[in-house]
Structure 1
């Protein structure tokens, strides 16, 4: 049966047209997926062991005047971050506090009112023998 299809020019032409249509449909579906995705290049990295918090702490700690940082994230109904609490050694300085709020707001695209920044308590760290919790 395949021998007849290989020798028949009409069947060859039909097979080529079918293959061409399938290729065109594949390209159309892929381009539709690409063009309908969000244009926002930021992506949240969420994992079970707190990777988002660790990454945020590392970034905020690198900022001038911030010092040691701890972060807690609050998730809303659709697993989007709805609130953030930051404790930092340098948060007693209003400029540092403002920089922390703006950094967190920019990363998670949340309103300033959803970000709370507090100065770390030096006594809490000393009570633990200088060790982290």
Structure 2
């Protein structure tokens, strides 16, 4: 009985109650921290997808720049070959950048559940799940598999040429650009070079 009295006295002690309350508070904080762990420390899977998309975007920017430079150089070379043109400079502007369509792995599942209650009524539940993931090469490089690449629409073309003062040469330059890019004449401007 003395042991029980001591135990009862210990429970009534305010210091002991404070310790128990503090332990309960610590346990609650730990549970909340574990539940919100993904919010503060996202998994590496999301980071790798973000890095992959960032890498793809950087490659697209480089390819778009190379595409534009290459196209302008080819146009400059071709127009410079026309009789009477002389030295020529060109600038091509675009509506947008090139668009890459990646290969996607799509999964879709449909589930229909039909329940009947005791009164003879029925309840139908339909659940549709869809998910998409970008397909990358399996050789470890993580390179994006591209289905197609859509080249940008041309907004306009400016040509500056030495021989553009001659109306015949100017007309030939406009016709050449219209033919190459399939753009209307109002999107092609030709000026004489100083």
TM class, shorter-chain normalised?
Answer: 0.5 to 0.7
2:93 aligned with 1:74, yes or no?
yes
Question: Deviation of residue 80 (structure 1)?
Answer: 1.1
Could you list the runs of 5+ residues in structure 2 that have no partner in the other structure? 1-62, 98-151
Higher deviation after alignment, 72-81 or 49-58 = 72-81
Q: Which runs of 4+ in 1 moved over 3 A?
A: none
Whose relative contact order is higher, 1 or 2, with alpha carbons under 8 Å and at least 6 apart? 2
- Between structure 1 and structure 2, the one with the greater Rg is 2
2:92 aligned with 1:65, yes or no?
no
2:129 aligned with 1:56, yes or no?
no
Could you list the runs of 5+ residues in structure 1 that have no partner in the other structure? 1-45, 122-133
Aligned equivalent of 2:165: 92
TM-score, with length taken from structure 1 = 0.54
TM-score, with length taken from structure 2 = 0.38
Question: What is the number of residues matched between the two proteins?
Answer: 76
Cα deviations across residues 18-62 of structure 1 (Å, max 9, x unaligned)?
xxxxxxxxxxxxxxxxxxxxxxxxxxxx75230100000000000
Cα deviations across residues 56-77 of structure 1 (Å, max 9, x unaligned)?
0000000000001100001014
2:65 partner SS: coil
Question: 1:104 and 1:80 mapped to 2: Cα distance?
Answer: 14
Aligned equivalent of 1:101: 174
CA-atom RMSD in angstroms: 1.4
Question: 1:61 and 1:70 mapped to 2: Cα distance?
Answer: 9
| Structure ranking higher in strand proportion | 2
